[in-house]
């Protein structure tokens, strides 16, 4: 085994391959999961399964969390038998979840009082990027903590930017979602227009890809819309959650986000139609007025 002892909590579609990359790098890795079955492939590869987050923290110098909401992060940290009970002074907590910037700052303040460093390091790239270790990582926190973590981040992604102090990584992730999900909504409008005008959406996507509208979002989400394959690559409920964060931040700061406000309403409509477990490309069906079962 090499380097610091690592812990990882949050072994979902993104977290499990990320933890796997760290384990493959020769690091000692402890894991914890609410459902032990999600950890089994890592245990079979050499990871140590812990009974509680506190036990994992006692075994680790650096702990990663990759869970869904800020409440989830707080529970794992400061709930009963949480990480906070086991993290020793000098340990480092790296939260790669997407949560509100203010929440990240508050958690960092509590950990600092225990002598524990924290980085908020949300990512972009989805499950495919996690599997290929090509994530874009946006980091908030102290530069000294980042340098400790840099070799680990290099095993997880291809782009690493230190945005600023605690919470700044989450601000960058909110900005990422403004652009990305806004573009998904724009692609939905474009292909809805194409269909209504009698043009083949797949050929329209092909035409747009060669010009200034070409992008990864057009390729992936436009491709799903054209194929009418709304099976989740990214569940819409996760983008809905992220939009709640960014719209809350905009409200707190008094920043007008008129385009994002419209996208937020489209996401709300998709949730109301029961589309939360479908891909975000289902925004097309909101425009079409279909219910969740339509194809």
Q: Which residues of 256-274 are buried (b: 16+ CB within 10 A; e: fewer)?
A: ebeebeebbebbeebeebe
Catalytic residue list contains 173:
yes
Q: What is the mean pLDDT of residues 177-193?
A: 97
CA–CA dist 178, 29 (Å, integer): 35
CA angle 257, 263, 266 (to 5 degrees): 145
Hey, what CATH class is 2-164 in?
Answer: alpha beta
Which among 158, 173, 241, 273 is annotated as catalytic? 173
Share of the chain above pLDDT 70, in %: 98
Per-residue confidence (pLDDT) for residue 293, from 0 to 100: 47
Q: What is the mean pLDDT of residues 16-41?
A: 95
- Residue ranges covered by each domain of the chain: 2-164, 171-288
Q: Is the pTM of this model over 0.85?
A: yes
Q: Do domains 2-164 and 171-288 have the same CATH topology?
A: no
When pLDDT is cut at 50, 70 and 90, the band that residue 3 belongs to is confident
Q: Helix (H, G, I), strand (E, B), or coil: what is residue 288?
A: helix
Q: What is the mean pLDDT of residues 91-116?
A: 98
Per-residue confidence (pLDDT) for residue 290, from 0 to 100: 60
State how far the alpha carbon of 86 is from the alpha carbons of 55, 91, 98, 263, in Å: 6, 10, 24, 42
pLDDT tens-digit series, residues 111-149:
999 999 999 999 999 999 999 999 999 999 999 999 999
Looking at residue 282, the DSSP 8-state letter turns out to be: G
Per-residue confidence (pLDDT) for residue 280, from 0 to 100: 97
CA–CA dist 118, 115 (Å, integer): 10
Per-residue confidence (pLDDT) for residue 232, from 0 to 100: 82
Hey, what CATH class is 171-288 in?
Answer: mainly alpha
């Amino acid at each position: 085994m090499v380097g610091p002892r690592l812990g990882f909590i949050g072994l979902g579609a993104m977290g499990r391959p990320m933890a796997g990359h760290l384990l493959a790098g020769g690091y000692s890795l402890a894991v914890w999961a609410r459902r032990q079955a999600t950890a089994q492939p890592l245990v079979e590869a050499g990871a140590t399964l812990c009974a509680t987050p506190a036990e994992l923290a006692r075994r680790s110098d650096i702990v990663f969390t990759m869970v869904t909401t800020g409440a989830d992060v707080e529970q794992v940290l400061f709930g009963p038998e949480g990480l906070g009970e086991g993290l020793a002074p000098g340990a480092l907590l790296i939260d790669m979840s997407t949560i509100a910037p203010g929440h990240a700052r508050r958690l960092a303040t509590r950990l600092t009082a225990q002598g524990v460093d924290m980085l908020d390091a949300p990512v972009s790239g989805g499950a495919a990027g996690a599997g290929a270790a090509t994530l874009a990582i946006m980091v908030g926190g102290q530069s000294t903590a980042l340098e400790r973590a840099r070799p680990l981040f290099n095993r997880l992604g291809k782009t690493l930017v230190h945005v600023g102090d605690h919470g700044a990584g989450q601000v960058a992730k909110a900005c990422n979602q403004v652009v990305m999900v806004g573009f998904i909504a724009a692609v939905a409008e474009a292909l809805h227009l194409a269909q209504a005008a009698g043009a083949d959406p797949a050929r329209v996507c092909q035409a747009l890809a060669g010009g200034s509208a070409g992008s990864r979002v057009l390729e992936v989400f436009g491709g799903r819309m054209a194929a009418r394959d709304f099976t989740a690559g990214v569940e819409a409920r996760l983008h809905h959650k992220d939009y709640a964060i960014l719209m809350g931040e905009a409200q707190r700061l008094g920043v007008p986000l008129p385009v994002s406000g419209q996208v937020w309403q489209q996401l709300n409509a998709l949730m109301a139609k029961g589309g939360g477990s479908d891909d975000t490309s289902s925004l097309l069906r909101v425009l079409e007025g279909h219910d969740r079962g339509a194809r």
